[in-house]
Amino acid sequence: MSLQPLSKTTILLHWLTGIFLLVVLGLGLYMDELPKGPDKFEIMGIHKSLGLAFLFVALIRVVWRIREGSLPALNVQQTWQDTMAKGIHLFLLLATVLMPVSGLMMSIGGGHGVTFFGSELIAKGEEIKWMGGLGHELHEIGASLIILALLLHIAGALKHEFKLKDGMLSRMLGKKSA
């Protein structure tokens, strides 16, 4: 089967957001395990700054996806697995924006302000309890759901590549289909 190739921008944005997401997620999980202290504080600063840089890339990707539409389908007849994969893609796209936004809500709501690699973006202010609380809930639930969605997404990609052998992963790697 010959697949419609993906544009270079689609491929670049996919891997850029994927790798960037894993770094910020991994940093968040690592930081969560650290005891309160200067180390945790420092890592949290890096986590927040990278998370904000990630938001910039994620927003570009959302605009790109809206312009491009969904990825060209593999099959004419859609199975329940295809429908589930589409749902996971949509969730991951929304989560790439919701995670940084909920992180911002946590920081602003907690009255901590926001800095970007040492430069102040939003000054410290009054605590806004509902915003901090909601941001915290969304950030925590979002992190667990992202891990689940990523595992399903990777499992699906591997199944297509090695069991169904339809070249879906190769297409996202920019390799030409036979």
Site residues for ligand HEM per CB under 6 A: 21, 24-25, 28-29, 32, 44, 47-48, 51-52, 54, 99-100, 103-104, 106-107, 114, 139-140, 143
| Phi, psi dihedral angles at 110 (to 5 degrees) | -80, -5
Tell me the closest approach of the beta carbon of residue 30 to ligand HEM, in angstroms: 9
Tell me the closest approach of the beta carbon of residue 108 to ligand HEM, in angstroms: 8
Local structure of 34: helix, strand or coil: coil
Cα distance between residue 107 and residue 28, in whole Å? 14
| Phi, psi dihedral angles at 116 (to 5 degrees) | -120, 105
Tell me the closest approach of the beta carbon of residue 72 to ligand HEM, in angstroms: 27
Cα distance between residue 136 and residue 65, in whole Å? 28
What token pair was written down for 125?
């202010």
Tell me the closest approach of the beta carbon of residue 168 to ligand HEM, in angstroms: 25
> Whose Cβ is closer to ligand HEM: residue 13's or residue 104's?
104
Tell me the closest approach of the beta carbon of residue 66 to ligand HEM, in angstroms: 19
Local structure of 73: helix, strand or coil: coil
What token pair was written down for 119?
């430069």
- The enclosing H or E element of 154 equals helix 129-158
Q: Which residues neighbour 109 within 8 Å (Cβ) at sequence distance 6 or greater?
A: 127, 128, 129, 130, 131, 132, 133, 134, 135
> Whose Cβ is closer to ligand HEM: residue 72's or residue 113's?
113
Cα distance between residue 177 and residue 144, in whole Å? 35
> Whose Cβ is closer to ligand HEM: residue 30's or residue 175's?
30
> Whose Cβ is closer to ligand HEM: residue 100's or residue 156's?
100
> Whose Cβ is closer to ligand HEM: residue 110's or residue 167's?
110
